[in-house]
Structure 1
Amino acid sequence: MATAGKAVVRPGGKRGVLVGGKAAVFDSEGQCPTCCTCEPFVLGSYTTHRTYSPCWDLTPYQGPGKAPPGSFWRLIEMGSCYPSSYPWYGAGCVNAEGRLVNLPNQFCSNYYYNGYLQLQIGCLSPDGTQILWPGTCRTPTSRYSC
């Protein structure tokens, strides 16, 4: 019986430790669920301003091996925790090669203030219904399809 502070391994399953040091429970086939192989992280960040630094070159983040296959990406403006959400400027999925599908070559701002942008990689929640994102204001979002 499970109690607070205890891990229970179901029959046929086994415990293991992921590369990042987190504990994981594998199924009877020895497979780790998708949610335990992905850790949300910030792939890149840039401060835009219409006059001083209007465009962020996103080509270094294109190509294979940039993020875990099956994860998600979003281009988002950060700041103090917005009341409901942050402004998004693009989002998509990561394919089997680890490539951010449909990531544009650049993002250009028309705003006259410093916009702190992040290219974030998100992961599915354990139940597969939400995407978990990195950061201090980690508001999960509904899972979207690509």
Structure 2
Amino acid sequence: MIRFVLNGRETALDLDPDMPLLWALRDHAGLTGTKFGCGIAQCGACTVHLDGMPIRACVTPLAAVEGAAITTIEGVEGPVAEAVRAAWTELDVVQCGYCQSGQLMAAIALLTENPRPGAAEIEAAMEGHICRCGTYQRIKAAIGDAAARLG
């Protein structure tokens, strides 16, 4: 039994400890907002927060989250999340949308840690997050807009 906090709720899953967190979230917790992209931590579609830090759920074994707090796109909230969502909407970032939960989770983690990132810091935080539609400029602009919203 693996026990952890999932989106603010105590959770216990009786699953193989080696199962990737992604599949525990999607197939057993019913949280399908976190997407499968590559399975090798290269695309960022599966990004969730582990104790507030972004991780790739596709390569994180369930055992690694024992006693931790996991936040998925369904559970992220607060002023930073609201600022990021508002900027994403206003700047019309989303095209196909498949990568966006991972992009949002990475942006929220960045702005939570550093509410005033420069262009280089935004670039570094978003490195490895692949958008097959190529909305990178809108993503970066939305992160800057969200930072401005946070004042």
TM-score bracket, shorter-length normalisation: under 0.3
Q: TM-score, normalised by structure 2?
A: 0.24
Hey, which of these two has a bigger chunk of helix by percent?
A: 2
TM-score by length of 1: 0.24
Which is greater in Rg?
1
Larger strand share, 1 or 2: 1
